[in-house]
């Protein structure tokens, strides 16, 4: 398959999925339900939405500061504002081209802070490894806190026997995959092992960091702000303002995964957040309105700060050089 076609599919498939989910969601609602969703939008308390977005932006500042901890051992001390603008541009790029933000961050750092691209990109990969571990930690916490509800929901739509068979099938597939990694000599196996090696190196780079304590503290702050931002947004609608901690965390996790693995959650974020909230008794119309409010407000903020950063980055660096 041609590289140009692969690049096209990486952009087109997530966008197509988002469009399909929007179409599918829209067609599931009656005219009265669509009117109800519009009412939720008009009655939402946007003070809490603005506060939630502000907390999210603050987390980006901490992310920019945390990045310096990874660059300093290599002899680089980038300016905080350059880090922040590089991150803002990365979020903007990810809206349109999945995973392009990591490259743009390294490019910005290389151009304005003279950090070699491969070194800057390496720190970004390491950072992503740590963030993935934190997200998996939230996932395990959510599953532990809401296991009974999730199991009950699944058993109502899927017989228990089939759930057991599914888990057994996953275990068998896992064992076969491990055997494949051990004995295969295919190109795919080499790619998987290279990926695993990269993850290992990323984690080890954190362990070897001089300020790893501060790095971990900042990581907790970043993810704490993410969760606090999501929690604050629930107060925008009366119907979501009293959800339990377990429901809050699992909805946050589902939203985070949809945001991370698609075009910044286009179409998928509202769909999956509404779906998981419905499991815990929140009306789909409410969950859909809530998902779109959270997603839209965050995307607008990312476009504003990303656009301003694209404009201000060369101006700021020209001024400080003079």
In the chain, where does DSSP find H-type helix? 3-28, 31-43, 46-71, 80-96, 100-113, 117-145, 147-157, 160-183, 187-207, 212-233, 245-260, 268-279, 284-321
Q: Which residues contact 315 (CB under 8 A, 6 or more apart)?
A: none
Residue tagged 């809050």 (tokens): 248
Sign of the alpha-carbon dihedral angle for 66, 72, 77, 82: negative
- Contact criterion met (CB below 8 Å) for 255 and 261: no
DSSP letter at 123 equals: H
Q: What is the 3-state secondary structure (H, E, C) of 187-244?
A: HHHHHHHHHHHHHHHHHHHHHCCCCHHHHHHHHHHHHHHHHHHHHHHHHHCHHHCCCC
Round to whole Å and give the CA distance between 295 and 255: 9
pLDDT at 71 over 70: yes
Angular region, 114: left φ>0, alpha ψ -120 to 50, beta rest: left
Torsion of the alpha carbons at 185, 187, 192 and 194, rounded to the nearest 10: 100
Check residues 72 and 304 and name the one with the higher pLDDT.
304
Q: Which residues contact 270 (CB under 8 A, 6 or more apart)?
A: 25, 288, 291, 292, 295
Report pLDDT digits (tens) over 6-44: 555 555 666 666 566 667 667 777 778 778 888 888 899
Round to whole Å and give the CA distance between 100 and 50: 27
Round to whole Å and give the CA distance between 86 and 17: 28
Tell me, what's the pLDDT at 63? Answer: 94
- Contact criterion met (CB below 8 Å) for 279 and 149: yes
Round to whole Å and give the CA distance between 209 and 217: 13
Give the side-chain half-sphere CA count within 13 A for 320: 11
pLDDT at 206 over 70: no
Round to whole Å and give the CA distance between 143 and 164: 17
Show the tokens assigned to 99.
Answer: 């995973």
pLDDT at 226 over 80: yes
pLDDT at 62 over 60: yes
Tell me, what's the pLDDT at 81? Answer: 93
Report pLDDT digits (tens) over 113-169: 888 887 788 888 888 888 888 888 888 887 777 666 666 655 655 566 666 677 788
Determine whether 170 is exposed, middle or buried from the number of CB atoms within 10 Å of its CB (0-12, 13-18, 19+): exposed
Report pLDDT digits (tens) over 152-164: 655 655 566 666 6
pLDDT at 198 over 60: no
Round to whole Å and give the CA distance between 190 and 253: 31
Q: What is the mean pLDDT of the chain?
A: 81
């Amino acid at each position: 398959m041609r590289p140009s076609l692969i690049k096209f599919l990486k952009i087109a498939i997530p966008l197509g999925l988002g469009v399909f989910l929007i179409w599918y969601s829209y067609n599931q609602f009656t005219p009265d339900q669509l009117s109800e969703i519009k009412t939720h939008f008009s009655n939402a308390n946007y003070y809490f939405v603005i506060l939630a977005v502000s907390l999210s932006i603050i987390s980006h500042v901490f992310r920019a500061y945390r990045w310096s901890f990874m660059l300093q051992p290599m002899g680089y001390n980038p300016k905080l504002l350059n880090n922040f603008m590089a991150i803002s541009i990365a979020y903007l790029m990810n809206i349109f081209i999945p995973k392009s933000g990591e490259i743009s961050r390294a490019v910005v750092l290389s151009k304005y802070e003279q950090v070699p691209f491969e070194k800057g990109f390496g720190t970004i990969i390491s950072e992503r490894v740590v963030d993935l571990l934190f997200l998996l930690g939230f996932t395990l916490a959510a599953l532990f806190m809401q296991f009974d509800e999730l199991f009950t929901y699944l058993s109502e739509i899927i017989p228990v026997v089939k759930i057991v068979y599914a888990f057994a099938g996953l275990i068998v597939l896992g064992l076969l995959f491990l055997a494949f990694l051990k004995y295969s000599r295919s190109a795919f196996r080499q790619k998987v092992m290279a990926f695993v090696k990269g993850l290992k190196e990323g984690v080890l780079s954190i362990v070897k960091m001089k300020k790893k304590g501060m790095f971990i503290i900042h990581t907790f702050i970043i993810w704490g702000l993410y969760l606090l931002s999501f929690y604050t947004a629930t107060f925008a609608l009366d119907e979501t303002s009293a959800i339990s901690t377990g429901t809050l965390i699992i909805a946050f996790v589902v939203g985070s995964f949809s945001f991370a693995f698609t075009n910044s959650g286009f179409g998928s974020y509202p769909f999956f957040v509404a779906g998981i909230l419905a499991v815990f008794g929140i009306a789909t119309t409410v969950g859909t309105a809530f998902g779109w409010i959270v997603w839209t407000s965050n995307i607008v903020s990312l476009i504003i700060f990303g656009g301003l950063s694209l404009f201000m980055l060369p101006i700021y660096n020209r001024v400080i050089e003079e």
